[in-house]
Structure 1
Amino acid sequence: MMTQIRTRFAPSPTGFIHLGNIRSALYPWAFARANGGVFILRIEDTDLERSSQAAVDVILEGMQWLGLDHDEGPYYQMQRMDRYKEVLGQMLEQGLVYRCYMSSAELDALRERQMAAKEKPRYDGTWRPEPGKTLPPVPEGVQPVLRFRNPVGGSVVWEDKVKGRIEISNDELDDLVIARPDGTPTYNFCVVVDDIDMGITHVVRGDDHVNNTPRQINIFRALGKEPPVYAHLPTVLNEQGEKMSKRNGAKAVTQYRDEGYLADGVVNYLARLGWSHGDDEIFTREQFLQWFNLDHLGKSAGQFDEAKLRWVNGQHIKMADDGMLAGLVAEQLAKRGVQVQADARLAALCGLFKDRCATTVELADWISMYFVDVEPSAEDLEAHVTEAVKPALATLREKLTTVAWEKGAIQQAIKDSIAAHGLKMPQLAIPVRVLVCGRAQTPSIDAVLAAFDQKVVLDRLQSV
């Protein structure tokens, strides 16, 4: 029997979640979904000064929008303090941790001496109990920290699914503080207890955690547990080649929703920002889950490219169901104070214009001309609605007054008007677009006009 795959996303709620962060949720989610596993959401909120409920809400909202549904959680580390203290007590009894009374001032002085001697600054084991060793007298009024007895000698070795074999000498690792003087446990300890209690089999996270991994592996083994499989993802860089971060101009995930991106388009783009399936650039969520595994994660940093994201999103808009797009466009129009039903007519309009759009904001820009007055630019009016073409416009308006209001009849009226005045199609079609649509370029003019209310078209042509 194979062990059920259990993955987790464990963000710290200390700021908004951007695309670089959310990729660390996408891959473990996809791996769990692709293998019939369980995806767990864990909020690592032990940084009380910087954590906020608002940041938690943004994490949940961003994941919900992208469809990264979790099976268990969200668990909150601050609600698990009793469990951490229980394990600390057991480890203290078993001699796996010890009390250290070295003050901050003493620790700073030790580090200064080591650096002056060109040594790596590290805790020297003053309070580590050893057979035959006499410990210093316990100072009065000092609350000790708890330190983990790191193994002496040998190495920590793991096969990382992204980076390959990694080996760290235990002599490079000092005895880690796993509980502060007030008794609160530290990050590396909490993570291990959580991963054990939640049965995590695979940890997919950013490579800024690589240095934590050997310490965590040693704590796993001290507790008699085998560590999970690790996959450390390369950093996501912004367009300037810097690490993507709020300070470097990264946007909250939910801002892409507001800017008219589709969840499936963003998932497709993010998936390719560190994983590949041959040369496939555009794929559905279903294809992604069918193909995804940890063996094709990229080893080099992915660089965010907004133009590429727009292109990918545009492909998904082309593939999207018109009725689904209608709902999103109605939301975009509502933000502009334009209340429109997401009905069959709006869906048909989405189908007419979606090939020209990279976002639902652009789609709403096009479709708004059907629901609000348009104002052609002075430049377009001067360039296209000339005295020479006005007679043909009058003829067309007259013909459109009496035709059946459907594409074929409108097309014939345009052709007859062109013939009557000895014009070519663009000479009449472009001025009609400017007057009726407020712009010189649109899809096929007969289809565009047919989607309007007949009276609106006649009124706008009457304006010259």
Structure 2
Amino acid sequence: MRPMDPVRVRFAPSPTGYLHVGGGRTALFNWLYARHHKGTFILRIEDTDRTRSTDEAIEQIFASLRWLGLDWDEVYRQTDRFDRHREVAAELTRRGAAYEKDGALWFRIPRDGATTVHDLLAGDVTVQHTELKDLVILRSDATPTYNFACVVDDHDMGITHVIRGAEHLNNTPKQLLIYEALGWTPPAFAHVPLILGPDRTKLSKRHGAGSVLDYDQRGILPEALVNFLARLGWSHGDQEVFTRDELVALFDLPGVNTSAAVFDEEKLLWLNHEWLRRLDPHRLGDLLADRIVGRGVADRATVEAAGRDKLARAAVLLRERGKTLVEMADRARPYLPGPIPLPDDALDLFTSDVRAALRILAVRVGELDDPTAHGFETALRQVADERGLPLKTLAPAVRVAVTGSRVGPGLFDVLAVAGPEIVAARVEAAAQEDRS
């Protein structure tokens, strides 16, 4: 690489399955490096394995990157470049660097000497040529193999930096030899250390790590996953929470760790909670609305009837305890119309004295002029005083009647968000419940 070349990096996934979190981190590091240096981020679909590559997987890669907010400047498919690959393979044959055997074309590894990879993260890695074997560059059906196609494409696309996982480091000496045989200048290489599971083995599904879009289904915000992936192997002092703009401003290769990162699910949930707390309430309410419908908590018509303002207010309460959008959606039923059954383990709260007070409260709530938290508190205290009940006796029954749970956010805030109509209906229904 020439020092003054504008930065051009690529993310080059193979579309043989979903984009997992390790691939997501590789994409993010390349995107951040390009944006930090005001360079170009290229998405290249490496679909030369035609027996395993699928259009569905390609669409899933696109969807995953869009959800993460990683926009690309150029996009290519390797299968569109087969003619170019064959042209370069023919040139290697003319130069005596490739030969045909068993219908395939093989690249000839020099028998003497060694090749050194000057890696920006791992340092110098030297491999003796006696440790390498000749490699196929064109299969018998004339399709290119990975090590060959990526060299041709990286050269033709002007890639200045190849930032990829450490598992590719053993491929690099072979690729450098192909560059040398063609008289091409190779890019700079930076092999990012692996992501490990909590047991210090290579991250896999058994650690709970799935596809990028699985995290969307689990209620993780893209801002949180981007933040989490950036911190998996990169740091800037002791800072943990980063906006996208901060990451672009601060990310560079010297900040990438040279040791493996450990995938910590609890840290991801903590970051997600932090990002839930930072989101604009109306945007969070919109996300919550979609999740409520998707989880079957309520139908679209019910959610739309509640209105954006109410959902935003509900979201602010729900995010106090919810670490994911899924948790928030599953706890959103109290704020939407419809009955809520009383749990059997809370029926002891509804004595005859309490039910009598609830009947009065239902009427008062229905006539409430001040449907704020203060207004509900005032009404509840007045009814408790009139009926000679301690507030600590009446309030838990009201909470269970309205929410179906003994615990949750501040009771009067819950009542204010649910609104007089819902509160009155549920309190009245609880007052009529008698299983004695």
Equivalent residues in 2 for 1:88-237 (5 A)?
Answer: 88-99=89-100, 101=101, 143=103, 145-237=104-196
The number of equivalent residue pairs is: 420
Q: Which of 346, 366, 372 is equivalent to 2:331? A: 366
Match of 1:15 in 2: 17
SS in 1 for 2:401: helix
Distance 2:258 2:361 in 1: 62
Task: Report the counterpart of residue 41 of structure 2 in structure 1.
Answer: 39
In our comparison, the structure showing a higher alpha carbon Rg is 1
Aligned 1:331-350 pairs, distance under 5 A: 331-335=290-294, 336=296, 337-339=298-300, 340-341=303-304, 343-350=308-315
Correspondences of 1:420-459 after superposition (within 5 Å): 420-421=386-387, 423-459=389-425
Q: Which residue of 2 aligns with 1:3?
A: 5
Report deviation, 1:169. 2.2
TM-score, structure 2 normalization:
0.90
Q: What do the CA deviations read for 1:263-305 (whole angstroms, capped 9, x no partner)?
A: 0011111111111111112221221221111112122222223
> Distance between the aligned counterparts of 2:207 and 2:405, measured in 1?
37
Q: Distance in 2 between matches of 1:292 and 1:424?
A: 58
Equivalent residues of 2:339, 2:426 under 8 A apart: no
Q: CA offset at residue 152 of structure 1?
A: 4.5
Match of 1:401 in 2: 366
Q: Which residue of 2 aligns with 1:283?
A: 242
Separation in structure 2 between the aligned mates of residue 246 and residue 57 of structure 1, nearest angstrom: 21
Q: For residues 424 and 37 of structure 1, what CA distance do their matches in structure 2 show?
A: 67
Question: What is the SS of the residue equivalent to 1:57?
Answer: helix
2:117/2:172 contact within 8 Å kept: no
**Separation in structure 1 between the aligned mates of residue 368 and residue 69 of structure 2, nearest angstrom:** 48
1:460 and 2:412 correspond: no
Distance in 2 (CA, whole Å) between partners of 1:423 and 1:160 is 75
Three-state SS of the structure 2 residue aligned to 1:177 is strand
Query: C-alpha displacement at 1:414, in angstroms?
Result: 2.1
Name whichever of 365-374 and 354-363 sits farther off: 365-374
In 1, distance between residues paired with 2:81 and 2:183? 21
Residue of structure 1 in register with 2:346 after alignment? 380
* Aligned partners of 2:136 and 2:145 also within 8 Å: yes
Kindly state the Cα deviation for residue 31 of structure 1 after the two structures are TM-superposed.
Answer: 0.8
Instruction: Map Cα deviations across residues 211-262 of structure 1 (whole Å, 9 max, x no partner).
Output: 1001111211222222212111222233454323457764222121122110
Q: Deviations over 1:182-216 (max 9, x none)?
A: 33222111010010011111111111111100111
Q: Does 1:313 align with 2:278?
A: no
1:4, CA displacement in angstroms? 1.2
C-alpha distance in structure 2 between counterparts of 1:360 and 1:233, whole Å: 31
Please give the alpha-carbon distance, in whole angstroms, between the structure 2 residues aligned to 1:250 and 1:174. 35
Q: 2:289 aligns with which of 326, 330, 337?
A: 330
Alpha-carbon contact 1:436-1:457 (below 8 Å) kept: yes
The 3 A distance-change label for structure 1 pair 154 and 348 is same
Root-mean-square deviation (CA), in Å? 2.1
Q: Residue 358 and residue 247 in structure 1: after superposition, are their counterparts in 2 closer, same or farther (change >3 A)? A: closer
CA distance in 2, matches of 1:422, 1:57: 65
Q: Which moved more, 1:62-71 or 1:354-363?
A: 354-363
Contact 1:163 1:232 in 2 (8 A): yes
CA distance in 2, matches of 1:352, 1:246: 33
Residue identity opposite 1:409 in structure 2: G
Task: State the match for 2:78 in structure 1.
Answer: 77
Structure 1 range deviating more: 153-162 or 328-337: 153-162
- The alignment status of 1:300 with 2:259, answered yes or no, reads yes
Residue 361 of structure 1 aligns to a residue whose secondary structure is: helix
Amino acid at match of 1:377: P
CA distance, structure 2, for counterparts of residue 271 and residue 426 of structure 1: 47
Name the SS for the 1:389 alignment partner. helix
- Aligned in 2, Cα 1:426/1:195: closer, same or farther, shift over 3 Å? farther
**Residue identity opposite 1:338 in structure 2:** D
Partner SS state of residue 279, structure 1: coil
Instruction: Give the alignment partner of residue 64 of structure 2, picking from 62, 65, 78.
Output: 62
Given that 1:237 and 1:301 are in contact with CA atoms closer than 8 Å, whether structure 2 keeps it comes out as: yes
Partner secondary structure for residue 277 of structure 1: coil
Distance 1:229 1:242, change over 3 A: same
Partner of 1:113: none
What is the CA deviation profile of residues 341-388 of structure 1, one whole-angstrom value per residue up to 9, with x for unaligned ones? 362221222123222211111221222222243223110232x33345
Structure 2: 5+ residue stretches without partners: 432-436
The 1:85/1:246 distance shift into structure 2, 3 A limit, reads farther
State the distance in 2 between where 1:239 and 1:388 align: 54
Residue type matched to 2:177 in 1?
A: N
Q: Distance in 2 between matches of 1:3 and 1:420?
A: 81
**Worse overlay, 297-306 or 418-427:** 418-427
Report the more deviating stretch, 328-337 or 208-217: 328-337
What's 1:114 paired with?
none
Shift of 1:425: 4.1
